[in-house]
Amino acid sequence: IAGITQAPTSQILAAGRRMTLRCTQDMRHNAMYWYRQDLGLGLRLIHYSNTAGTTGKGEVPDGYSVSRANTDDFPLTLASAVPSQTSVYFCASSDQYNTGELFFGEGSRLTVL
Q: Write out the residues near another protein by the rule CB under 8 A.
A: 4, 31, 33, 35, 41-45, 48-50, 56, 58-59, 88, 90, 92, 94, 96-107, 109
Nearer to another protein, 37 or 65 (CB): 37
User: What's the CA gap between 42 and 7, in Å, rounded?
Assistant: 21
Pair 22, 106: CB distance under 8 Å: no
Nearer to another protein, 72 or 109 (CB): 109
Give the Cβ contact number of residue 21 at 10 Å: 23
Nearer to another protein, 42 or 62 (CB): 42
Nearest distance in Å: CB 112, another protein: 18
Q: What are phi and psi of 69, to 5 degrees?
A: -75, -25
